[in-house]
Amino acid sequence: MMHAIVARQPGGPEVLELAETGRPAPGPGQLLVRVAAAGVNFIDTYKRSGVYKVHYPFTPGAEAAGTVEEVGEGVTGFAPGDRVATAEGIDCYAGYALVDEDKALPVPDGLDDFTAAALPLQGMTAHYLINSTFKVEAGHTVLLHAGAGGVGLLLIQLLKAKGAQVITTVSTQEKEQLAREAGADHVLRYEGFPARVRELTDGTGADVVYDGVGKDTFDGSLESLRIRGTLVLFGGASGPVPPFNPQRLNAGGSLYLTRPTMAHYLRDATERRWRSGEVFAAAADGSLKVRIGARYPLAEAAKAHDDLEQRRTTGKVLLVP
Ligand code: NDP
């Protein structure tokens, strides 16, 4: 038996309940992983609330790190005792979770279990956003929202390592401090940010905007771009962006708009190993700092969701079974 978080219907954080369930058995090509920590991500809240459809009873969680307990038929690359992490695990808010072998990432020795659980989803996201969705180069001016969040703090550091100028938005003084420590050149509040970005770029605008806030920032993000700039809308922490008239891209300066999702940038094991390998190596050698802003016992998953949705968290949020 094991403990797992279960929701029986969509709703607020209170639908997340601790339950005792059977331990899953690994099918062909799968690993059974003893979860040391599971990552909490904004997408888990979209699935819990019903913004994204799921089947019930529903156990959230795609991200975890831990130790291989058992392997299914045909698994060749992992054995019991190996340390692994994943951004694409099955029902990870639990004591044990299944991971398909090709979605399991080996954890280097220099990385502890909590850091390994904190990095896969937000780390590989930050990696694909700046290397593949839009290729950031030295000298680019980048605006990114929610700079003290999980994706945000990683993005700031990876962008600075590329030599970009980084402007970010945050809502509080504490978050401003964290964004500055991560290396942001300019930290703004949301109020009036497009005008501030114009000022900071001598009227030109940003080369690219990374917007995971969505509804509340979308219009301002478009206004902050230079001619032929790119808006990368990668989430909707404030809610989904309403329908959009493409004519606005013309008026804004022949702009580009894309709405990427992680699965399309992790097409196979090679792409996963490339992205996770670079991010894990940077964390292991200390060049990428991973802030774990909060850790909750598994039983407090509802509180973790509430804190994330109410903007009370910074960096990564973890659940410990
Ligand atoms: P964060 O830790 O960044 O938390 C969200 C932050 O958004 C808050 O802390 C808050 O920072 C800011 N925010 C602004 N307005 C609101 C609002 N109305 N309600 C709640 N938060 C608000 O979360 P993650 O790092 O997990 O994710 C960031 C975004 O990236 C999310 O939209 C998520 O869906 C997206 N994402 C997309 C992926 C993809 O592949 N497309 C993959 C991973 C994440 P502040 O208080 O400073 O404003």
Asked whether residue 15 is assigned to any structural domain, the reply reads yes
Atom of ligand 1 nearest to the CA of 259: 41
Same domain, 52 and 22: yes
CB of 151 sitting under 6 A from ligand 1:
yes
Asked whether residue 40 is assigned to any structural domain, the reply reads yes
Same domain, 139 and 258: yes
Asked whether residue 277 is assigned to any structural domain, the reply reads no
Asked whether residue 285 is assigned to any structural domain, the reply reads no
Which of 40, 41, 169, 316 to probe ligand 1 with, by most ligand atoms within 8 A of CB? 41
Query: How much distance in Å is there from the Cα of 8 to the middle of ligand 1?
Result: 25
Same domain, 155 and 241: yes
Same domain, 97 and 130: no
Asked whether residue 302 is assigned to any structural domain, the reply reads yes
Tell the residue nearest (CA) to atom 35 of ligand 1: 235
| DSSP string for 134-190 | S---TT-EEEES-TTSHHHHHHHHHHHHTT-EEEEE-SSHHHHHHHHHHT-SEEE-S
Same domain, 80 and 208: no
Same domain, 98 and 225: no
Same domain, 131 and 150: yes
Alpha-carbon span 104 to 88, nearest angstrom: 8
CA torsion angle for 104, 132, 287, 105 (degrees, to 10)?
0
In which element (H, E) is residue 67 found? Answer: strand 63-71
Same domain, 142 and 80: no
Tell the residue nearest (CA) to atom 1 of ligand 1: 149
Asked whether residue 57 is assigned to any structural domain, the reply reads yes
Query: How much distance in Å is there from the Cα of 261 to the middle of ligand 1?
Result: 14
The CATH number of residue 311's host domain is 3.90.180.10
Same domain, 77 and 52: yes
Same domain, 19 and 54: yes
The CATH number of residue 189's host domain is 3.40.50.720
Domain count of the fold of the chain? 2
List the domain range (segments joined by +) for residue 215. Answer: 122-262
Asked whether residue 156 is assigned to any structural domain, the reply reads yes
Atom of ligand 1 nearest to the CA of 40: 26
pLDDT tens for the chain, 321 residues long, are: 999 999 999 999 999 999 999 999 999 999 999 999 999 999 999 999 999 999 999 999 999 999 999 999 999 999 999 999 999 999 999 999 999 999 999 999 999 999 999 999 999 999 999 999 999 999 999 999 999 999 999 999 999 999 999 999 999 999 999 999 999 999 999 999 999 999 999 999 999 999 999 999 999 999 999 999 999 999 999 999 999 999 999 999 999 999 999 999 999 999 999 999 999 999 999 999 999 999 999 999 999 999 999 999 999 999 999
Asked whether residue 20 is assigned to any structural domain, the reply reads yes
